[in-house]
Structure 1
Amino acid sequence: MENIYIGYHFKVEPKDPSNREQAKQLGSEILVAELGETAFESFVETENGVSAFVQKELWNENILDDIQILHSDDFKIEYTFEEIEPVNWNEEWEKNFDPIDVDGICHVRAPFHEKTDAKYDIVIEPKMSFGTGHHETTHMMIQHLLEMDVTGMKTLDMGCGTAILAILAEMKGAKPIDAIDIDNWCYLNSIENAERNNCKYISVYEGDASLLNQGQKYDLIIANINRNILLNDMQVYVNCLNKGGILLLSGFYNEDIPVIDASCTEKGLTYVKKFQKNNWVALKYVN
């Protein structure tokens, strides 16, 4: 039996008319980040803002109670919601997914797109998993990896989503690679995508940072999650990082850098570099 979904359609309007489009984009991104902390599992950018979808069986009338941006002084956000008949998500996704080109070196595409001559050609079928390369955080993490020599590095992709970053790391010579995600859909999708890209050194696990208590050590840890989870698990990452190892972090905003940086530096990490795209950032640290 296919799941029935509740669809919310949010209209996001910044109260400050200056830089309206950029502010509207920022408001939509914050909204998606907050909704992502709840049972909402799929998001579509719209002309007016965002549509978000939650399985009916996981929905309750208080689902928006903790969404802080709905009460923000900076935005006026209106919404409607409706029950949606079972959706063919793959079909919806195919209609809306365009190939991604990162710096002319890495091409991220779906199975139904033509292959290009990009140095790193990654085929992803995300279905409802996060990590197609469209989102700024994934794009910037790809940029970090493209700049690095990861040959022979034992690697962890934490919160792997579609495993896109683990796949790129293997293409660039990293091995072995552990990919972990708490979401069952992401876990299964990561296995599919690793196989689809003929990866031989990626092991996918379902769970959270509690899986990292077996004394594992890595030369490279990639964590594209969100601010609160990163802060909560930072010590675990540091404990797992070899001396001279690299930690790549994303999933948070420019204004979150001070608290992230403080957490990293007090644990002995040294800041190396930042990428910024819109208001999202991706940081590189070395142990």
Structure 2
Amino acid sequence: MNYSELTLRLSPDYTEILMAELAEIGFDSFVETDEGLTAYIPESDFDETALQELIAKYSDQTAIAYEVISLEKRNWNAEWEREYEPIEVAGQVQVRASFHALDARFRYDIIINPKMSFGTGHHETTAMMLEQQLGLNFAGKKVLDVGSGTGILAILAAKMGAQDVLAFDIEEWAVENARENAELNDCPQITVFQGTIDDINPPTHLLDSTPTTFDIVLANINRNVLLREIPIYTDLLAPEGYLIVSGFYEHDAPDIEQKATESGLNMTRKMSNREWTSLAFQKL
């Protein structure tokens, strides 16, 4: 099967939105880039008119440039395996695919087969989130993973001793992938559902309607979502609970910090890597 490759250059604030929209018109795999997004679709399913209508829908909100090329037939699994190398985080975590060998030097071994979703640990924001997690005590804690993608953050939380980890994503394929990865890593304490933060209280995905609070909330999402939802995360946090966020550039950090402070949080740690930033807060 031949594939068409779409390269989008746009603001990072819109990459997740465009990814979701592109999935609706048949694109089935995505790679986040420094310039925006690369997406793939079987050549027979590609509809340029639908793509142009989608670009026009967002053209008044952000500048978007795109290019489409045809890729020759190839063994995509073999290509992916050659490109996907294990990563190390702070000398304690190794993130690898199932075809890589276990390395006993690392305290935490995480197996991620990413399929279509992000969160292999290769992106700076994911790696920083993992490193931030290493600085917290997860033993016996209740954890919420917002926009879980592959489930990598939830899996580390579980491996660090979390008692109950709730994860969600808006994309069905991401939810399926996170569930598969949780099972692959033997993490039965992880529950993954498809939905948004609005589905937490009342917890429509659970039989128990008791309001839910969490000791730790993890959110590796874009700036606009964080600015809108940080007050909600704060309400969901137990007293002295922690919020760890990433998914935004360093120049956006003051806005994120201000929103967190206004919501009753105190910043405890800031990390930056190649202009990307992660912040950790504690509820006052």
How far has the Cα of 1:82 moved from its partner? 3.1
2:196 alignment partner AA: D
Structure 2 partner of 1:52? 38
Structure 2 partner of 1:218? 214
186-195 or 141-150, which deviates more: 141-150
How far has the Cα of 1:233 moved from its partner? 1.6
Q: Secondary structure at the match of 2:17?
A: coil
- Among 116, 131, 155, the residue aligned to 1:167: 155
How far has the Cα of 1:93 moved from its partner? 2.3
- Contact 2:149–2:175 (Cα < 8 Å) also in 1: yes
Structure 2 partner of 1:153? 141
Structure 1: stretches of 5+ with no match in the other structure = 11-27, 72-76
- Among 267, 271, 279, the residue aligned to 1:271: 267
- Among 229, 233, 239, the residue aligned to 1:243: 239
CA, structure 1 residues 87+241, in 2 after alignment: closer, same or farther (shift >3 Å)? farther
How far has the Cα of 1:34 moved from its partner? 3.1
Structure 2 partner of 1:144? 132
Structure 1 partner of 2:80? 93
Structure 1 partner of 2:26? none
Structure 2 partner of 1:36? 16
How far apart are the structure 2 equivalents of 1:157 and 1:54? 27
1:156 alignment partner AA: L
Q: Secondary structure at the match of 1:185?
A: helix
Structure 1 partner of 2:277? 281
How far apart are the structure 2 equivalents of 1:265 and 1:218? 19
- Contact 2:139–2:160 (Cα < 8 Å) also in 1: yes
CA, structure 1 residues 244+57, in 2 after alignment: closer, same or farther (shift >3 Å)? farther
How far apart are the structure 2 equivalents of 1:260 and 1:51? 23
- Contact 1:32–1:43 (Cα < 8 Å) also in 2: no
- Contact 1:7–1:51 (Cα < 8 Å) also in 2: no
How far apart are the structure 2 equivalents of 1:256 and 1:281? 9
Structure 1 vs Structure 2 CA RMSD: 2.6
**TM-score, normalised by the number of residues in structure 2:** 0.82
How far apart are the structure 2 equivalents of 1:87 and 1:178? 38
**Percent of residue pairs identical:** 37
Task: Describe the superposition over 1:26-61 as per-residue Cα deviations: whole angstroms up to 9, x where unpaired.
Answer: xx7x65653432134502759xx7771154369421
- Among 42, 55, 78, the residue aligned to 1:64: 55
5 Å-filtered alignment, 1:94-243, equals 94-117=81-104, 118-214=106-202, 215-243=211-239
CA, structure 1 residues 235+45, in 2 after alignment: closer, same or farther (shift >3 Å)? closer
Q: Secondary structure at the match of 1:60?
A: helix
How far has the Cα of 1:263 moved from its partner? 1.1
Task: Describe the superposition over 1:252-286 as per-residue Cα deviations: whole angstroms up to 9, x where unpaired.
Answer: 11111121111111111111111101111110000
How far apart are the structure 2 equivalents of 1:277 and 1:241? 27
CA, structure 1 residues 57+102, in 2 after alignment: closer, same or farther (shift >3 Å)? same
Structure 2 partner of 1:80? 67
1:64 alignment partner AA: I
1:61 alignment partner AA: Q
